[in-house]
Amino acid sequence: MSIKIQVLDNILQMNDSFAEENRRIFKEHNTFAMNMMSSPGSGKTTILERTLERLDPSQVAIIEGDMQTTRDAERLERFGCQILQISTGNACHLDGKMIHDAAKELDLIGVRLLVIENVGNLVCPAEFRVGEDAKAVVLSVTEGEDKPLKYPLMFREASICMFNKIDLLPHLDFSLEEARENARQINPQLKFLEISCKTGEGLEEWTDWLQSKMKG
Amino acid sequence: MSIKIQVLDNILQMNDSFAEENRRIFKEHNTFAMNMMSSPGSGKTTILERTLERLDPSQVAIIEGDMQTTRDAERLERFGCQILQISTGNACHLDGKMIHDAAKELDLIGVRLLVIENVGNLVCPAEFRVGEDAKAVVLSVTEGEDKPLKYPLMFREASICMFNKIDLLPHLDFSLEEARENARQINPQLKFLEISCKTGEGLEEWTDWLQSKMKG
């Protein structure tokens, strides 16, 4: 299987050179680029809806990655920020080249925050840098405390971990403390937020964090 | 990128030849092999716990696929059936070769049901046949009704779809009817079950379905 490994290495190298070029473009525009990742259905798009209610749409652009459908992009259209949809077809993640092509379509002048919503997948997206300044991982509390241990690369790569759907905690056997402990084993620097898009809990802290990065 | 496509074709061809050989082995032993797939944290292992309480452990074998940790296999050990753990490392799915190697380690004589619990990932596992008789997809109702449309290959390949964690429905905005309708658009033959491992709802129907296959 050495040819497989060689080809994979080449793919990752090619990916990294696009990612570096993307990063140069984002830096040049003073745009904070955040790669948002999670399992399918953890609530990335709903968090983005609640986020866009709280930010100036002219300062935000979104790249939506989905294998199929444009549903997520449609949900965000009403906020009036720039949105670009990437349909990956069979590809299970976004890569540097896709983001490079997308960035060329966006007008980044004045855009302080670019959110890249990745394909719902806790595995493959973590392997592909896209030129982001930070990776955010969303973990729905319905998914169990063990996920950081079972999907360590994702939690190692992330700067911030959002425990989402905490309004459901009274109905679940889920310990936030155990989940945090598991995640800290993988990544002691990881910052945690506890979010509910239903009650609004944690959203102010989240947008404060984003705004501090947008000014940076 | 044509070399990438060529290598991928070769990988899938090699995979299929292992899958066919696996299928021959399962058929020879009169073993019904089920490939169980879902997003991370949809509840595959908990469903298996409830399933193993209801079946004769001498007739069941389990192959547990995880990137890291042996937690799921440990959770199932107490039931006394044969369990084999595959640690995939960085691989985001099980493939025919992994199952071929695992099957050689199992004693399939008298085993009527082999459950292959795949890596938690709604994308990549659907692309790799492992020699199974049926694929089962578990969708937690916390993940949203749109998942069949967003991850169509998984729902097209599956024979049975388990809507899990239905005890949480009163706390969610989730329509089972809409989810079924979305899944039927992708796969009109798909059989549906509604499951709660907390209340036990749907588990009898599920084990009845399995037992009908084990006798077949």
- Whether B151 and chain A come into contact, CB under 8 Å, resolves to yes
CB count within 10 Å of CB A89 equals 8
- Where are chain A's structural domains? 2-214
Single-letter amino acid code for the residue at B68: Q
Helical segments of B106-215, H only: 147-150, 152-157, 176-186, 203-215
The stretch B80-95 carries a mean pLDDT of 95
pTM: 0.95
Percentage of the residues of chain B whose pLDDT score is greater than 90: 93
The stretch A3-20 carries a mean pLDDT of 85
Chain A environment of B121 (Cβ under 8 Å): 92, 121-124
Pick the CATH number of A2-214 from 3.30.365.10, 3.40.50.300, 3.30.360.10, 3.90.1150.10: 3.40.50.300
Comparing alpha-carbon positions, the chain B residue that sits nearest to A88 is: B150
**What is the reported pLDDT for B1?**
45
**What is the reported pLDDT for A2?**
60
Tens of pLDDT, residue by residue over B102-141, are: 999 999 999 999 999 999 999 999 999 999 999 999 999 9
Helix (H, G, I), strand (E, B) or coil at B104: helix
**What is the reported pLDDT for A134?**
98
Residue in A70, A74, A123 to test binding to B, most B beta-carbons within 10 Å: A123
Percentage of the residues of chain A whose pLDDT score is greater than 70: 97
Chain A environment of B127 (Cβ under 8 Å): 90
ipTM of predicted complex? 0.93
- Cβ-contact A98, A115 below 8 angstroms: no
- Closest by CA to A65, choosing from A38, A47, A28, is A38
Shortest distance, CA B31 to any CA of chain A (angstroms): 29
- Whether A39 and chain B come into contact, CB under 8 Å, resolves to yes
The stretch A140-158 carries a mean pLDDT of 98
- Closest by CA to B152, choosing from B183, B125, B119, B110, is B183
Chain B environment of A172 (Cβ under 8 Å): 168
Contact B150 A11 (CB under 8 A): no
**What is the reported pLDDT for A1?**
44
Which residues are CB-contacts of B147 (< 8 A; sequence separation ≥ 6)?
A40, A41, B39, B122, B139, B155, B179, B182
- Whether B189 and chain A come into contact, CB under 8 Å, resolves to no
CA distance B86 to A148: 18
Tens of pLDDT, residue by residue over A67-116, are: 999 999 999 999 999 999 999 998 999 999 999 999 999 999 999 999 99
